[in-house]
Structure 1
Amino acid sequence: MKILFTEQFEQAYEKLTTAEKRSVRKALALLGDNLRHPSLHVKKMEGRKNIWEARPSKRLRMTFEMAGETTLMRNVGEHDRVLKRP
């Protein structure tokens, strides 16, 4: 699976702490290997067309879109902020 990143994702990622970045990198590796890995808690966002969310940690969320073998990472950060602007 090919993973691409939006500018929004990259900017949000840079604002994370070192520990949060480590959690996100681990989650991205799992996502690339197994989209349905149980620790990611992947689910489709309600009311959003083709936007999914995953949990790198209890506090963090990542949003993404899938198209064939490509995943576009849209946003990452604290739960409430990310889910308001996926």
Structure 2
Amino acid sequence: MNKIAVDIEPDFFSQYDELPKEIKKKFKKQPKFLKENPLHKSLQIHRLEGSDFWEFYIDKGYRCVFKQEGNIYKLYFIGTHELIDRF
């Protein structure tokens, strides 16, 4: 079985830096869940309509957008649910 890896795109960091502290804290556990069990209930992963991108929940108001490329999950965007809807 191939190991799953999580990679972060460079633009992601500037978005992350703008997040409230409590959201950063909640986010930190999510990549581990993504690597170990993408079906983990807290992630609530689903495909963004009409695209190759997926999103997972950080909490009710914040999401992370990623794309799967083989056994690598690339994180592209992090922000509010409202911003993700415009992605």
TM-score if structure 2 supplies the norm length? 0.89
Give identity over the alignment, percent.
24
- 1:18-71 alpha-carbon deviations (Å, 9 max, x no partner): 1110111111111111111111110011111x2001001111010000011101
Aligned length: 84
Asked if 1:39 corresponds to 2:42, the answer is yes
Asked if 1:9 corresponds to 2:8, the answer is no
Amino acid at match of 1:26: K
TM-score if structure 1 supplies the norm length? 0.90
Higher alpha-carbon Rg: 2
**Aligned-residue CA RMSD in angstroms?**
1.0
Higher helix share: 1
Verify the 8 A CA contact 1:26 1:56 in the aligned structure 2. Answer: no
Verify the 8 A CA contact 1:30 1:37 in the aligned structure 2. Answer: yes
Question: Helix, strand or coil: the match of 1:40?
Answer: coil
**Structure 1, unpaired ranges of 5+:** none
Give 4+ residue runs of structure 1 displaced > 2 Å after superposition: none
Aligned to 1:19: 22
